[in-house]
Amino acid sequence: MMRFLAGVRYDGSKYYGFQKLKDKKTVQGELEKAISKINKKPTSIKGAGRTDRGVHAYKQIIHFDLDIDISPKSLTKAINSIIDKGIFVNYCQVVNNNFHSRFKVKRKTYEYRLNIGPFDPLIDDYIYNYNHSLNINKMKQGAKYLLGYHSFEAYVCGKRNHYNTALFSIKIKKKNNILIITFEGQSFYQYMVRNLVGALIMVGEEKIKPIALKEMLIKRKNIYHYSNAPAQGLYLIDIKY
């Protein structure tokens, strides 16, 4: 038996999220179908994390065990020859049997993209068509209050034992009419990035002051009633171990 790691990209608009669901087309489900066919037996895969329906990835990481003898290059080619075309395996590599794609993660990078120019129907599945101007300088000021190790309960959906994690950097840049917000952190919980973006948008709209983001961290509650940003603007960019 050999354990493999694979870096995977996918178009989230074509799937009901990453996690396998009964009677729904998912990224994990399609990967397991392809890998099971190659391994000639039912084969499960584990991902570095779950992405929601509509969320895209340039580099999701998975791991799985194979009973057959195959090189990483041949395995990559074999998976891509049969996998659903909304998914592409960037590479495969052999790893130690104690490697785990989820539990060994050191940091993740997500990117959120929104269109602050005119509505564009051609990008609607891949970028949030926000279509209004924003005060980017105020957003950058607000982002500074989010950096560091905190309880992010005000920005996480669902109940957990704790909401603690670290945000290492938040970069905000404008390229033509597209505003790109990049988050690098230790880990991210359910809807966390999309909630952070929703709060930053409120700052950019000048409906709340930048320091309001810190107030919500301290009070651990969405006291300013920001809205969750839509899934289609979110991309999983990188994972480091």
As annotated, the active-site residues are 52
In this structure, what DSSP letter does residue 13 have?
G
CA separation (Å) from 115 to 88, 122, 176, 178? Answer: 26, 12, 9, 5
CA separation (Å) from 152 to 73, 162, 197, 210, 231? Answer: 40, 9, 13, 16, 19
Q: Contact, 105 vs 241, CB < 8 A?
A: yes
* Tally of CB atoms within 10 A around 189: 19
In this structure, what DSSP letter does residue 229 have?
P
Q: Contact, 9 vs 57, CB < 8 A?
A: yes
In this structure, what DSSP letter does residue 52 have?
-
